[in-house]
Amino acid sequence: MGARSLLILGASGFLGPHLVAAARAGGWRTIAASRAPAAAPSIDGVAPDARIEWDAERPDALETLLARARPDALVLAAALARVETCERDPARAAALNATLPERAARLCRARGLRLVHVSTDLVFGARAPRAERFGEDDPVAPVHVYGRTKAAGEERVVAEDPAALVVRLPLLYGESGGRGLGASDALLAALARGERPTLFSDEWRTPLEAGDAARALLELVAGDARGRLHVAGPERLSRLELGLALLESHGLAPGRVRAATRAELGLAGRPADVSLDAARARARLATPLRAPHAALRALAERSAPLP
C-alpha cells in the first residue's frame, strides 16, 4: 500500500511551501494546487510530488480538482487574505473565504476525506478577550471584511462537515523564499531597502513561525480533532516587540525601526488585540510551538547578514 496522499490548496502562499515540506517529511504523497504552481517556491529545496494548476474562483474547480487528485486528506490554506483587497471587493472575499470552504467541507464529507481548514486570529478584534487571550469558545468579533468572511467560512465548514477541523493561526513569520512575505521577511526586506519601518506598540498578537505552524497542521491532519483549535505561539507580543526580537536575532540596532501607536497614524480601527490561547493545542500536539526569540535566532543562523 502506497503513501497516503495530501492535497494542499493555496500551496503558493506564504504557508503553502512550509506545508509541502512538513507533509513530505511526514511521509505523505503531496499534491500542491495553486493558481501558478510552477512559480511556487520551496523550503529547503523540498518540492511536492505533484503540482496542479487550480483556479479557486472557477465554479467547478474544486470538484474537478478532487476528481483528478483523489487525495486522502485536504488542507485548505487558500484565501483572499489581504485586508485591503477584501475591503475593495467583499463579494470576491466572500466567495474565496466563505463559499469555497463550505464547498470543500461538503465535498470532503461526501467523499470521506479528512479536512483541515486554515483560519485566522482576525476573526477577533472588535472586543477585548474575556481573559488574557482568546479561547476557542470565545464569540468571534471581527472588525473588517476579511475577518467577517473568514468567520463565515468557519461556521459553514463546521456545519457541513462535523468531522472537519478549523485551525485558527496567528500572525506568522519565517522564511518566504525571498518573497518578502510574513512578519519577519517583510520587515527584513524593508530594512534591506534602507527603510525604517514603523511598528505598532499597541497591537498584540501571538506570533508563530510558519514551519512550526505547518508541522502542527500536518500532525492535526493525521489526528481526529474536530471543531475549532487555536495553534499559536506561547508569547503575547506587540508588533514592535516582535520586530525588536527580529533585530536582536540579526545583531541589528533597535533604532532601525520606529515605534508608533495606531492612533498616532490614524489607524485606530485596526484590531488592538487578537492574541490566541493555544493551551488546547499544546496539550494535544507533539510539535513544539516555539517562542519567537528562539525561532528567530534559528532562522538568523541560516540567513545572510543584513547591511
- DSSP designation for 122: G
Residue type for position 63: E
CA distances from residue 229 to 158, 270, 304 in whole angstroms, order as listed: 12, 24, 35
Please give the Cα distance from 74 to 106 (Å, whole number).
12
C-alpha cell read off for 158 = 463546521
Residue 173: active-site member: no
User: Residue 291 carries which side chain, given as an amino acid letter?
Assistant: A
Helix %, strand %, coil % of the chain (to 5): 40, 20, 40
d(C-alpha 181, C-alpha 188), whole Å: 10
State CA 35 to chain mean position distance: 18
In whole angstroms, give the CA distance from residue 185 to residue 2: 37
The residue type of 202 is: D
Q: Residue 245: enclosing H or E segment and its boundaries? A: helix 239-249
Give the three cell numbers for residue 120: 485566522
> Alpha-carbon Rg of the chain, whole angstroms?
19
Tell me how far apart the alpha carbons of residues 93 and 86 are, in angstroms, rounded to a whole number.
5
Cβ 125 vs Cβ 147: under 8 Å: yes
**Of 54, 134, 146, 200, which one is the catalytic site residue?**
146
Active site residues: 146
